[in-house]
Chains A and B, each alone.
Chain A
């Protein structure tokens, strides 16, 4: 009788011990089998593949052309300036058939994308120029009592208007080979399966739920900013951006109100940067055709590192964005007038208070960056070297964002120090074969220390 060899990935016994060994092998194999595949994870992975690689037989663009993972699923002028001339973003410059698909001056200078929200009957004169909204935290920001709201005016999707159907409209608007936009010639429409996968992927990005304010913030400036934000007599922000999200305060608008549209007067701002170029920028009338002047409420947790701001990228900084609500343009707008009528006054923050609210928005953005970075670091630890490097790159980008939003206003410098160390460790991990997982763990620990400098841990 030959002794069965111990299980080390294979059975080497022969003769009369083979049958026993065979059973052992079967049991061992069962113990070593991969876990049953997660259908939702597979759908998300498929959606990711489509989002970044599928051109739908169009002009070469993908969803990821404008919604870049390393740029918080949006694009700003600084990143656009780094792209090569043959990037599909610039098809209007390289393909004569698409010369009027975009305005290259406005695209490069302000990150503005041409949209025919009021129809395709007069391409030369009827269009809008809008910034690229990020696709983060969508589970918290699409639903409303009146139906799903997608895009800057809440009416971005054809068909049933859902997030799932949004991709169909995006392919038609942004992907065609020519401006004839003939289905089956200039593009192909996403299939039902592709729409399902794209929706699953997009819903998986970023926050899955709203914050529960107030947070126990350690920094006095951000903490005061949070107080102002939540004060219905002072900042009044929480009315429309409940818990710094995208939804109306349920105590005001009803439990199921969800995401809302408002006319805040942004279109009436003087000296809009795009207008200063002399390029044609028709007025944007917002929701509907013809529009009612309202635009969709975006979430604020992700705001500080996804500027420029508002539907037309008209304000560059988060401080300027907060200051907008103190100005005549907002206070004279329909939304501003209603707030004034409801509360007895408009929004009148002084400079210090404006900066305090902005500091609060910077800090909660950084906390979200840290949460995202930790999730990516943990994900990378379970991956093989190649995919892990890509995931670490994204973790690095999140960390860079956190550093930028905090250091940009001299906030929580102790946290910034930990984040810089985390960044150094992430870079090292990406280059390392043997110590990657250990370095990743250390980077994760630095992220957690950074968080501990910003908010009291429960």
Chain B
């Protein structure tokens, strides 16, 4: 392999990047269950069974999912005709309706984003 080709191969290796993640920001305003291409296919839709603030995990669908510093949490207030807003781990309470997108759909270990139904008055 000539040196220039080797050089370009190095270039390619250095520029290789991790899998793309979809833009997260407008996702904030998509209500639970309506994420295009995801809801009903690869996200969890249901109720929170438990949430552990010490381990930062939330249990839903019989599975514990890690909430990391990268996880986006949004309060879905669209049912009350209010804007969706950023939420926090404290909003992930047992019994609340939730949609969870996983960082790795196969492993389902860490949450990419979580939408949680807001309580009345939130």
Contacts and interface: CB of A to CB of B under 8 A. Distances in A.
Determine the interface band of chain B, counting residues with CB < 8 A from chain A. Answer: 35 or more
B83 interface: yes
Contact of A183 (B17, B20, B37, B78): B78
Nearest to B13: A253
B30 A189 contact: yes
Contact of B23 (A155, A249, A252, A343): A155
A452 B23 CA distance: 45
A205 to B, nearest CB: 20
A116 to B, nearest CB: 6
A437 B24 CA distance: 50
Contacts of B31: 183-184
A121 B10 CA distance: 40
A133 interface: no
B11 A165 contact: no
Interface string A178-199: 0011111100011010010000
A117 B21 CA distance: 13
> Which bucket holds chain A's interface residue count?
35 or more
A147 B4 CA distance: 28
B122 interface: no
A144 B20 CA distance: 9
A252 B37 contact: no
A183 B9 contact: no
Contacts of A36: none
B25 A161 contact: no
Nearest to A116: B25
Contacts of A173: 26
A169 B36 CA distance: 10
Contacts of B28: 119-120
A140 interface: no
Contacts of A289: 23-25
Q: Which of B17, B21, B35, B42 has the most CB of A within 10 A?
A: B17
A156 interface: yes
B25 A118 contact: yes
- With a 10 A CB-CB cut-off, give which of A164, A181, A192, A261 has the most chain B CB atoms: A181
A254 interface: yes
Q: Chain B interface secondary structure, helix, strand, loop or mixed?
A: loop
A180 B37 CA distance: 24
Interface string A423-449: 000000000000000000000000000
A451 B99 CA distance: 55
Interface stretch (A85-93, A334-342, A363-371, A413-421): A334-342
B7 A155 contact: no
Interface string A262-291: 100000000000000000000000011100
Contacts of B19: 146-147
Contact of B11 (A149, A189, A288, A339): A339
A172 B36 CA distance: 13
A158 interface: yes
A154 B20 contact: yes
Contacts of B34: 183, 189
A159 B22 contact: yes
A182 B82 contact: yes
B106 interface: no
A411 interface: no
B15 A341 contact: no
Nearest to A189: B34
A344 interface: yes
B27 interface: yes
A257 B34 CA distance: 31
A261 B20 CA distance: 10
Interface string B98-118: 000000000000000000000
A163 to B, nearest CB: 10
A248 interface: yes
Interface in A297-355: 335, 338-339, 341-344
5 contacts: A158-B24, A158-B30, A161-B37, A173-B26, A342-B10
Interface of B: 4-5, 7-12, 14-31, 34-39, 42, 77-78, 81-84, 86
Interface of A: 116-121, 144, 146-149, 151, 154-162, 164-165, 168-169, 172-173, 180-185, 189-190, 192, 195, 232-233, 239, 248-249, 251-254, 257, 260-262, 287-289, 292, 294, 335, 338-339, 341-344
The 8 closest A-B pairs by CB, nearest first: A160-B37, A161-B22, A342-B7, A159-B36, A165-B36, A169-B26, A342-B11, A180-B83
